[in-house]
Amino acid sequence: MGDETVKNDALQIIGMFQVLPRLVVFDLDYTLWPFYCDCLSKREMPSLYPQAKGIVDALKEKGIDMAIASRSPTSDIAKTFIDKLSLKPMFVAQEIFSSWTHKTDHFQRIHSRTGIPFNSMLFFDDEDRNIQSVSKMGVTSILVGDGVNLGALRQGLTEFSQNASKSEKKDED
C-alpha cells in the first residue's frame, strides 16, 4: 500500500471518531522505523514502517499535533534520520534522550512544552514497560508489535475515545 492509500485509509479511520486526541506521541525505534538508530550510522538512509508516513500525513492534515518520545542513546542519529525523512516539521516536540524513567520524563517535558494535558494524548510504543508507566500518567498508550499501522491507529483512537467518555462520566458524578 502506498503512502497516499494509507493516508486516505487513515483519514477514514480518524473520521469515524468524534473525540480525538490533541496530541499523538510516537516512539521512534521499532514504532516509526524498523531498527534501533544506535545500530546505524548517520550516513545511512533510514526508512519508516510501510504505513507510518501515511498515518503521520493524515494526522497532520486533520490538524492533530504530534510529538516524539524516544529513549535513544544516540539522539544525534535519531534527529539526522528525522531530517532525512522530512519529518521534522511534523512534530511540535521532540524529546529524544536516554533515560531510565520509562518515558515519564519525556512526557513531563512534552506537557510543559505544549500545555496539553496527559489525558488528551495518545501514545504509540513498542515496549510494554513504557506503555505501563505512561498509562499511569493518564495517557492512552498503545503497544505496537510491528510498528505503527492502521490497526494500531484504529485501536488507539478507539481506546482514546473510551477513556475520554469514562473521564466525562467521572466529571458528571
Active site residues: 27, 29
What b/e string do you get for 97-127 counting C-beta neighbours within 10 Å, with b at 16 or more?
A: eeeeebbbebbebbbeebebebbbbbbbbbb
Contact 39, 73 (CB under 8 A): no
Contact 93, 113 (CB under 8 A): yes
